[in-house]
Structure 1
Amino acid sequence: MESFDAIVLGAGGAGLMASAVAGQRGRRVVVVDHAPEPGRKILISGGGRCNFTNLGTAPDRYLSANPHFAKSALGRYTAGDFLEMVERHGIAWHEKTLGQLFCDGSARQIVAMLLDECAAGAVAMRLGAAIRDVSHADGRFTVVHGDATLTAPALVIATGGPSIPKLGATGFAYDLARKFGLKVVEPRPALVPLTLPPEEALFRSLSGVATEVVARCGKAAFREAALFTHRGLSGPAILQVSSYWRHRDAIGIDFLPDQDAGWLLEAKRTRPRAGLRTVLSTALPDRLAEALAERLAVVGELGNQRDATLRDAEQRLGDWRFVPNGSEGFAKAEVTVGGIATEGLSSRTMAARHLPGLYVVGEAMDVTGWLGGYNFQWAWASGWAAGQAL
């Protein structure tokens, strides 16, 4: 049996961050993971360049049953703090749209940086074997990992959620949480493509067509690209609203967000001999313009249409309703909404209130960010907060 000050379950972003911070504070830390290499989700993110944070990070860009929970950690470890580490390690980066920061080179640089930070804290790595048992007795946690037995007064659950199971993701964190008396908010896929029912076959036939829209679900609205797929809807705007979507909810799409009210009546006056499809094609891909015009059934020249007909068409184009019949599930979800309930955790330290020594960080808990680097920033911030407390 090997003894440590802390055992961190999970070698992803949050687990490595917590380990590095605690290790550099003099704690004897071991990271345990069933995967053979660390940071698997980091490696595939951002098309292999890792969208490692977002300059627009703010608590209102996270979903949680307790929307105030993320404020403390995000305020104490900011995007600027992580960027400072990136630059200290000589990693070149660039900003894309909407505050998203990416590596110029490879996501492997971020993993290497975190491993270097862990090495600076003499953190032990135990990877590539199954976690066979986790228990707690007499103020200590015991983890059986492969043939090894590890023990420590502190345990950090950093094993993420069930999104992207091909990387080895499971609901293991939730099983552990329940075992140790923490509640779990229903986990569901987030940042995930949505599927459309058979009656929307006309739109599913537009597979590969993309256009900038405003997508809405409830009070949430995002202006980015939407992409039609052979199964339904994807693209950044759709992935964003998917985190808010529940079964039977409608998704509203504004296909022409730059058009002022009354634009179609204006087109009737200025281009009376044009058809609706022709007018739509000036702002939308041809195939999409054709499909929308077909659904709206505005036949013939605009000059021959009643104003009420055109007003109705304009209203539908500005708030076109789709009712998805599902999503592409955890297999295609970038993250998980829900997870270990924050009500049982300290927002300052990520520690369980009722069981001293137990911590939860990263995606395992019920804090989920928008698309665009927000979830990595939560991994860094929550990991830092736990690492400071271990």
Structure 2
Amino acid sequence: MTTRATDVLIVGAGAAGMMCAIEAGRRGRRVVVVDHASAPGEKIRISGGGRCNFTNLGVGLHAFLGGNPRFATSALKRFTQQDFIKRIDAAGIAWHEKTLGQLFCDGSAKQIIRMLTDAMAAAGVTLKLGTAVEMVEAHSDGFAARLSDGSSLTADALVIATGGKSIPKMGATGWAYDVARRFGLAVTETRPALVPLTFEPGLLAQTAPLAGLSVDAVVAHGRTRFREGLLFTHRGVSGPSILQISSYWREGEAITVSMAPDVDVFETLRAARTQNGRQAAATAVGHIVPRRLGDAVLAQAGVAGNLGDLSDKALRALDQAINGWTLKPVGSEGYRTAEVTLGGVDTAGLDQKTMAARDRSNLFFIGEAVDVTGWLGGYNFQWAWSSGWAAGQVC
């Protein structure tokens, strides 16, 4: 078995791992990045419909969850969204802003992967793909790893950048958490986040005919609310507003949905009743929400007939059904479709400036593996860039 010595071993060739490798390599460190996948940056490649929502202009602590969201402060302030945009610009990658500060490539997300791999090559980084770490252990002066290709590596520093459990078909596992526990770090509860929610059979029977229909909505859980698209599915609901709220929702809890957030439904229907009492309620409601949704709302509220036949109580019931729909999902679609993992390596055991374990300064955890989770819209990529950059300054 051949054994090679290096300064830094990074496990995971995703956004965080590649960023860390670039920074460490530029410092003159000998860096080896290993990944079991056949290509680097697979989550980058598929994100944003293939255009990669690579950051967000509004990055701030308000958009991050975790046991201690303030842990992310140092990395996010030292390598900001503007810093990453400068690298995108320097690479000649055209980009545009969509809604809510979300930045996407004009072309393919593969441009970002190429930018990162080119920068790694220029920094002298060795990239080993299709290679898994079968064993890793600590020595007095570093770490030793046995790889699936039959070789071994010794390294002064070890960086874990393998992400969380989301999208297992791409090879995602809880390996980072296993490593953390083995070296004495705590791991907080993990669960799927930014994920569609599912309904019990009774509610699903009511909403399944709406599958494929999308509306602008405000979705709330307690004091937390998001206004973005909501999509009815064959299993429940999805769309950006639902993915956002899924990070806050827990089984057994309710969410409230407003499907015409700019409309006072009661006053609108009452005015329509005064102007034309012979108008069918279905027609009037169909002017507020899509007709297919309106028919479902009328059935749910038990309302039928013309507006002139409806009492104020009936109009308020329609108002409640449209803008105060309270429901209890029974679950989510799980890691299979979750964009990220909520929870992870407990930040109490990490240094927020270096991302190193407090009790083992040459062991680093970065990116999604850590208990820092961002909103939908480029926030998690920025955490990957920032945390990878921070570790790369010292590993």
State which of 152, 176, 179 in structure 2 corresponds to 1:176.
Answer: 179
Letter in 2 for 1:275: A
Quick check: 1:234 aligned with 2:234? no
- Length, aligned pairs only: 390
Shift in Å, 1:276: 2.9
Structure 2 contact 345–369 (Cα < 8 Å) conserved: yes
Mapped to 2, the partners of 1:129 and 1:7 lie a distance apart of 13
Q: Which runs of 4+ in 1 moved over 6 A?
A: none
Quick check: 1:12 aligned with 2:7? no
Query: Secondary structure, in 3 states, of the residue corresponding to 1:3?
Result: strand
Aligned to 1:191: 194
Mapped to 2, the partners of 1:210 and 1:271 lie a distance apart of 29
Aligned to 1:83: 85
Shift in Å, 1:262: 3.3
Query: Secondary structure, in 3 states, of the residue corresponding to 1:291?
Result: helix
Mapped to 1, the partners of 2:158 and 2:278 lie a distance apart of 72
Structure 2 contact 217–229 (Cα < 8 Å) conserved: yes
What TM-score do you get using the length of structure 2 for normalisation?
Answer: 0.96
Aligned to 1:47: 49
Aligned to 1:214: 218
Aligned to 1:387: 392
Shift in Å, 1:299: 2.1
Structure 1 contact 215–223 (Cα < 8 Å) conserved: yes
Q: How does 1:179-328 map to 2 (within 5 A)?
A: 179-200=182-203, 201-260=205-264, 262-328=267-333
Structure 2 contact 231–237 (Cα < 8 Å) conserved: yes
Aligned to 1:149: 152
Query: Secondary structure, in 3 states, of the residue corresponding to 1:135?
Result: strand
Query: Secondary structure, in 3 states, of the residue corresponding to 2:85?
Result: helix
Shift in Å, 1:80: 0.8
Shift in Å, 1:274: 2.4
Shift in Å, 1:272: 2.4
Structure 1 contact 196–204 (Cα < 8 Å) conserved: no
Letter in 2 for 1:373: G
Structure 1 contact 73–348 (Cα < 8 Å) conserved: yes
Q: How does 1:56-95 map to 2 (within 5 A)?
A: 56-95=58-97
Structure 1 contact 210–228 (Cα < 8 Å) conserved: yes
Mapped to 2, the partners of 1:352 and 1:182 lie a distance apart of 8
Gap change, CA 1:84 and 1:326, over 3 Å in 2 = same
Shift in Å, 1:26: 1.1
What TM-score do you get using the length of structure 1 for normalisation?
Answer: 0.97
Letter in 1 for 2:322: L
Aligned to 2:107: 105
Deviations 1:300-346 (A, max 9, x none): 22222222332233133212012111111101111111111111111
Deviations 1:7-59 (A, max 9, x none): 11100000000110111011111101111211111111111111111111111
Letter in 2 for 1:242: S
Q: Which runs of 5+ in 1 are unaligned?
A: none
Mapped to 2, the partners of 1:94 and 1:33 lie a distance apart of 31
Shift in Å, 1:179: 0.5
Quick check: 1:330 aligned with 2:335? yes
Letter in 2 for 1:389: V
Mapped to 1, the partners of 2:177 and 2:293 lie a distance apart of 43
Q: Which runs of 5+ in 2 are unaligned?
A: none
Shift in Å, 1:263: 3.2
Shift in Å, 1:363: 0.3
Letter in 2 for 1:67: P
Aligned to 1:127: 129
Mapped to 2, the partners of 1:274 and 1:220 lie a distance apart of 38
Identity within the alignment, %: 54
Mapped to 1, the partners of 2:330 and 2:230 lie a distance apart of 17
Mapped to 1, the partners of 2:292 and 2:380 lie a distance apart of 35
Letter in 2 for 1:188: R
Structure 1 contact 10–32 (Cα < 8 Å) conserved: yes
Deviations 1:47-88 (A, max 9, x none): 111111111111110111112111111111111110100010
Mapped to 1, the partners of 2:107 and 2:235 lie a distance apart of 33
Mapped to 2, the partners of 1:312 and 1:8 lie a distance apart of 58
